[in-house]
A and B are shown apart, each in its own frame.
Chain A
Amino acid sequence: MSRVALRPTRGIPPLAWSALGAAALLAVPILIRYGAPGSERYYLHILIQILIWSFIYTGWSLMGRFGLTSLGHGAFTGIGAYTTVLLWNVAGLSPWLGIPVGIGLATAAALLVAYPCFSLRITGHYFALMTLALTEFVRLCIVGWRDYTGGSLGTQPQRAPGGVSITALQFEPDRVLSYYIALALWALGLWMWLRVDRSMDRYALDAASQDEEAAASVGVDVTREKLKITGLSAAMCALGGAVYGQYQMYIGPDTIAGLGVSLNIVFGTIAGGLSVLLGPTVGAVFTQLLSEVLRVAVQGSGLTAQLGSAALALDTAIYGALLIFFIIYMPKGILGTILEARRRRRAGAP
């Protein structure tokens, strides 16, 4: 079957650069070991967080780029993380099985909310609100079921004896191993993105985001296309959430389930660039560094003493302000704007 190329997607780096980048990323632990021996664990920790969130953001961008703005992804990461940990803690089920169950549940939840939305042609703000309700529902379940979930304090996967464990999928004590796991996850995300980008589904969704009825009139099954991308996106976020929980060895409604997480995902992805391959990655670099800087600044300034736990909400407030800035002044995000400027310069060069 012939592939129909509508319009080449921009922002996919050429092969040589990709190979160079991959080699550099694989070498990072060595570079850090010799470059910053005292802070090896700290730097790897930041990178691991960036990689895992990049994967989650990439998952969100798969549907976000087609105008399907979901505030439900904090529910999907939460379902992935909590299902995995609870099955391990309560039933002794290995995360190797728990994660697929979590992915299945998150996908089912996504389709359950999305199906009525899509078949009734609920889009835009209303879709965002429907998915927001799902996030809140999941958070309430977590808080309400506190005997198992630890409520709003969160909970931990029971440690397998001996630290690193394959059956328990616990790898956190070994930061270098954790880094490579996160790197593999990140690469998986990029691969998924490219697969979607090169499929007919992308053209169908792109067209549907511009005019649903016209897309239907040329033969696009709009509801089905949207459900497919929503399911995939939710599944990826559930996987990302589960891996995040395994790495952090802690899950809580604030860190991996709930509206704050949803907003963080939306903000990070939009900040980085919604429809370019590495946009979500740039976004994750941005949000992770931002929250690190904020954490250090807040701790250093003694604000915590005055504001108490309210200081924790500071980064959410700053995110909100920045999100408005990006939507108004930089709707293509950091990477999208840079790539566009470069292309303009090339095209306009005499």
Chain B
Amino acid sequence: MLELSGISAGYAGAQTLFDLSMRVEAGEAVAVIGANGAGKTTLLRVISGMLPARSGSMTMDGVSLRDSPPHRIVETGIAHVPESRRLFPRLSVESNLKMGAFIPAARARFRERLDYVYGLFPRLKERRSQLAGTMSGGEQQMCAIGRALMSGPKLVLLDEPSMGLAPVVVQQVFDLVRRIRQEGYTVLIVEQNVRQVLKVADRGYLIEVGRIRAGGTAAELLASDAVRDAYMGI
């Protein structure tokens, strides 16, 4: 479904991703793990078009995404749940969801999508008229995921959905991730919570300073020395 090859990217002055190649097949959940500053967020921002890649190629269902602006990339069926959620704080929950259906294809099926998301996350329906900025962290994450689903995506990019949440809530967020998997979405998820995310994911990649250090099935990664040494504190 999504294929990156030889991607390099960075910010003014510093290169952050080096010659990075990876793929995500339809129906899979793929985890990207790595230390702070490894480049995980940068990777997702490159995929969703927020940050143009410097070199390399990137395709979605065979169509090149290189140099496409974010609003075009959403239309190819990629929805990004950004790091730290990035809701529209002064809009209600429902208005946030409506913004999620901004692209013309989704706008036409807005009611249907809204009912679907409310069915999936009834909590959002209860809170529909609350300002998004006043919700708890877990609810905001739910709203951010709901907003991404409103565009009717095939692939959902999740950037550290458990960040800054209490352990009980982290569990709930991983349950949300499981739910959207069951709904048939393909998922690419970035996490620091290695043990947890590798329970949800089929496969994973370990990124270190902008390069892929290891890749394999969740079980392989869990067993690998690179992951055990660095992230599991054993």
Contacts and interface: CB of A to CB of B under 8 A. Distances in A.
B74 interface: yes
Given A7-B91, A214-B87, A217-B50, A203 B110 contact: no
Nearest to B94: A6
Output the residue of A4, A210, A214, A219 with the most chain B CB within 10 A. A219
Nearest to A4: B98
Contacts of B150: 218
Interface in A137-170: none
A221 B104 CA distance: 12
A265 B43 CA distance: 44
Contacts of A221: 69, 71
B33 interface: no
B96 to A, nearest CB: 9
A217 B107 contact: no
A95 B80 CA distance: 51
B95 A7 contact: yes
Contact of B99 (A1, A207, A213): A207
B108 interface: yes
B86 A211 contact: yes
Interface string B29-56: 0000000000000000000111000000
Interface residues of B, number: 34
A6 B69 contact: no
B203 interface: no
A219 B74 contact: yes
A206 interface: yes
B75 to A, nearest CB: 7
B91 A206 contact: yes
B119 interface: no
A219 B103 contact: yes
Contacts, number: 80
Interface string A209-234: 01101111111110000000000000
A31 to B, nearest CB: 43
A1 B98 contact: no
Interface in A15-30: none
B108 A1 contact: yes
A203 B91 CA distance: 10
Contacts of B102: 200, 203-204, 218-220
Given A207-B91, A221-B69, A215 B99 contact: yes
Interface string B104-132: 10111011000000000000000000000
Contacts of A210: 88-91
B147 interface: yes
A6 B98 contact: yes
A2 interface: yes
Contacts of A204: 102
Contact of B75 (A2, A7, A203, A219): A219
Contacts of B100: 218
Identify the interface centre among B87, B102, B103, B104: most chain A CB within 10 Å of its CB: B102
A218 B95 contact: no
Interface in B181-210: none
B110 A2 contact: yes
B227 interface: no
Given A210-B88, A210-B91, A214-B86, A220 B71 contact: yes
Interface centre among B70, B80, B87, B99 (most CB of A within 10 A): B99
B155 interface: no
B82 interface: yes
Given A204-B102, A216-B70, A6 B95 contact: yes
A213 B75 CA distance: 16
Given A1-B107, A1-B108, A4-B107, A217 B91 contact: no
Interface in B134-160: 147, 150-151
A218 B99 contact: yes
Given A6-B98, A219-B71, A214 B82 contact: yes
B177 interface: no
Contacts of A6: 91, 95, 98-99
A2 B107 contact: yes
A215 B147 CA distance: 11
B8 interface: no
A4 B104 CA distance: 11
Contacts of B71: 216, 219-221
Interface in B149-173: 150-151
Contact of A213 (B86, B107, B110): B86
Interface of A: 1-2, 4, 6-7, 200, 203-204, 206-207, 210-211, 213-221
20 contacts: A1-B104, A200-B102, A203-B102, A206-B88, A207-B88, A207-B91, A210-B89, A210-B90, A211-B88, A214-B82, A214-B86, A215-B88, A216-B49, A216-B70, A217-B50, A218-B74, A218-B151, A219-B102, A219-B151, A220-B99
